[in-house]
Amino acid sequence: MSGIFYTQRLAMTSRMGMAEHKAEVYIPELQIFANILLSHYRTTTPNNFNPRQESWAEAFIVTPQTPPVPLTGGMGPAFLQRDPTVYLKTDQLTFYLQVSNGGGGLPGNPNLEASASAVCVIYDYSPSPTLDMASVVQQLDLAVYAEDGTVVATHQSVRLAGGREFDEDETRERVLADAYAMRERKQGSLRVSTLGYGQMPVHTDFRVDPSTGQAEPLSGQASGENLVRP
């Protein structure tokens, strides 16, 4: 017998290169089964754009047992395994949703937008599984954004009851460093904002007001969008 004891929805939009939503979950050490499902994908194509741009979205899980491969050229670490499903004994796992719009278009041409969402679930497969949803006892929601408020990465660290406590200051520094490596941006061009519980919009795209560090939901969709539902 198994029981669902944690689930979460991830969402991300990319307007320039790759953007990422990452959910880091700290749990009691358990035998678990976890999966992440790409549930929605959309591209918004302007009237004049670079037809060579290839947009994509990918959802996968990384655990402490997943071996990273350091890459050169400021690209940050890659992972040997990009598994949407894991079955193992662990006390930590991270869900990734990565979205790319293919980078910049031709000079003078607007970029297409790419957005996606995913649902992640953790099942307790221990001999006496938890059959109720676990309570969250520590949570940190972060948004990394550029000078104009465009969000390039979002991060959520969650500790469930019985999980080990995480260092919030270290997490902020690591998330910002990862965003620089992923986007190949010059130092000082990105900022990280800590959002209060429930302040990160989950059903709509958003930006961060650079003057306040607060999230501002964006509404409305451009014409010419293509909907793809895996």
> Among candidates 96, 84, 81, 90, which has minimal Cα distance to 35?
84
Q: What is residue 227's predicted lDDT score, i.e. its pLDDT?
A: 34
Mean pLDDT, the chain, integer: 82
Q: What is residue 6's predicted lDDT score, i.e. its pLDDT?
A: 92
Spatial contact of 90 and 65, defined as CB atoms under 8 Å apart: yes
Q: What is residue 71's predicted lDDT score, i.e. its pLDDT?
A: 52
pLDDT of 202 over the 80 cut: no
> Among candidates 121, 119, 116, which has minimal Cα distance to 40?
116
Q: What is residue 81's predicted lDDT score, i.e. its pLDDT?
A: 66
Q: Name the pLDDT band for 79 (thresholds 50, 70, 90).
A: low
pLDDT of 4 over the 80 cut: no
* pLDDT tens for each residue of 16-65: 788 899 999 999 999 999 999 999 898 876 665 556 667 889 999 999 88
pTM for this model (two decimals): 0.83
Q: What is residue 15's predicted lDDT score, i.e. its pLDDT?
A: 77
Higher-pLDDT residue of 201, 222: 201
Distance (Å, whole) CA 82 – CA 98: 11
Q: What is residue 133's predicted lDDT score, i.e. its pLDDT?
A: 87
Q: What is residue 173's predicted lDDT score, i.e. its pLDDT?
A: 95
Angle at Cα 163 formed by Cα 80 and Cα 70, nearest 5°?
20
* pLDDT tens for each residue of 144-196: 998 988 898 999 999 999 999 999 999 999 999 988 887 667 788 899 999 98
Between the CA atoms of 83, 43, 100 and 14, what dihedral angle is there, to the nearest 10 degrees? -120
The DSSP symbol for 196 reads P
Q: How large is the average pLDDT for residues 213-222?
A: 71
Tokens standing for residue 78: 């890659």
* pLDDT tens for each residue of 104-140: 544 444 567 888 999 999 999 888 877 788 899 999 9
The DSSP symbol for 101 reads -
Spatial contact of 24 and 156, defined as CB atoms under 8 Å apart: yes
Q: What is residue 171's predicted lDDT score, i.e. its pLDDT?
A: 97
Ramachandran angles phi, psi of 171, nearest 5° = -65, -45
Higher-pLDDT residue of 228, 192: 192
The DSSP symbol for 65 reads T
Question: What's the helix, strand, coil split of the chain in %, to 5?
Answer: 5, 50, 45
Q: What is residue 223's predicted lDDT score, i.e. its pLDDT?
A: 33
Q: What is residue 225's predicted lDDT score, i.e. its pLDDT?
A: 39
